[in-house]
Structures are given as C-alpha cells and as structure tokens.
Amino acid sequence: MIRKGFLSVLCVALFLGGCSSLPGRERVGSVSPRAQAVPRTKVINAERLSKGGKIFVRPFIPGEFVTYDEEFARVSLYVLKGFLTALQQGPDLYTPLGPDEAGQSELVVEGRILEKKARRVFEKLWKRKTVYILKTEGSVVDRDDKTVMYFTHELRRDDVDGFNDLAEEVGHDIGRSVLISSR
C-alpha cells in the first residue's frame, strides 16, 4: 500500500518535472558564431545604389509604440555606429559624412525603431533568461528625396549584454545589406 502511494507520487513528480530536471548536454568543440542575419530589403533603384557616393546616416527615430528616453538615444546611436562600421569594413564605395557635412550627401539613410523590448522567458523549469528584441525599418533616399531602397529588420537575441550590443548588430546588418545591394 505504501509502495503504491510512493510510486504514484514519484510518477507524478517525474511527469510534472519532465526532462527539465536532467542536466543538459554540452557541445563538444567550438561554438559557432551567430548566423548572419539579413534584413528584408527592396531595392527601387539599383543603378543609383551601385554608384555609391557620399552617404549620411541620420540617427534612428522612435516608432509609434517606442518611447524616446536616454536609453533610446543610446540605442539609436549604436545602430548608427554598427552601420558605419559595416561601411568601413566593405569596399570604398561609400564615403560616410558627419552631421556638419550632411548638406553634401548624395544618399541619406533614415530609419525608425519600431519595437524595443526585453522579455523574460523560461529557459528551463526554474531558470529564466532575458530576450532582447529590436525591430527597425527605414529607407535610403537620394538627394532628390527619391527612395532608392527600403529595409526592415528584426533581431531577437538572448546572448547579448543589453540593447546596445543588439543595436550595433542591427546597424551592422543593415549596413552590410546596403553593401550587398550595391553590387
């Protein structure tokens, strides 16, 4: 009788706990870097984009459901930093300009941050992790305000230290996308 009660309690405990209470497997060898994320792009004028030239990147503005605060301003500048880093690592097709030279630019990158969230999710039954989400959209326009390219990008990561690292990756991905579309 006691044995049946013990076995049924043990079965219920195993059923509720599942395999989450068992230790996880560790991978042997090196961990691969993150897969390269490519923003969704629509190139309107490939000929103009392939010419390159002087480019100015405006700091991204908040979208409809994103509040502007000090953290947002920092995230926007990290997107800008990642974009410019990608342009510097690529071929010398584009010349980045600073804010004092913005009037001389041939192309302007404008964008909005549509979503900036940090969510706490369960990784295992007892362990939680934070997932950072950053969603952007924008366009590359020429001197005559004609759109050359649209882009949207969403990145969700849990292995970053915060929005700043994620924003820099988003900017880098967008910059790399502009370079790829310029070929």
pLDDT at 158: 86
- Strand duo 94-96 + 53-57: pairing: parallel
Spatial distance between the Cα atoms of 69 and 75, rounded to a whole number of angstroms: 10
How crowded is residue 52: how many other Cβ atoms within 10 Å of its Cβ?
A: 16
Among the residue ranges 28-32, 80-84, 153-157, 161-165, the one predicted with the least confidence is: 28-32
45-69: pLDDT as tens digits: 999 999 999 999 999 999 999 999 9
Q: Report pLDDT for 9.
A: 65
Please indicate, yes or no, if residue 13 is contained in any of the structural domains: no
- Domain contains 17: no
Q: What CATH number corresponds to the domain at position 104?
A: 3.40.50.10610
* Residue 28 counted as domain residue: no
> Is pLDDT of 139 > 90?
yes
Q: Mean pLDDT across the stretch 161-176?
A: 93
70 located within any domain: yes
146 lies in which domain range?
37-181
* Burial group, residue 78, by CB count within 10 angstroms (0-12, 13-18, 19+): buried
pLDDT in the model for residue 163: 93
pTM beyond 0.95, yes or no? no
Q: Which of 25-39, 61-75, 84-98 has the lowest mean pLDDT?
A: 25-39
Q: Is residue 15 situated within a structural domain?
A: no
Answer whether residue 51 is part of any domain.
yes
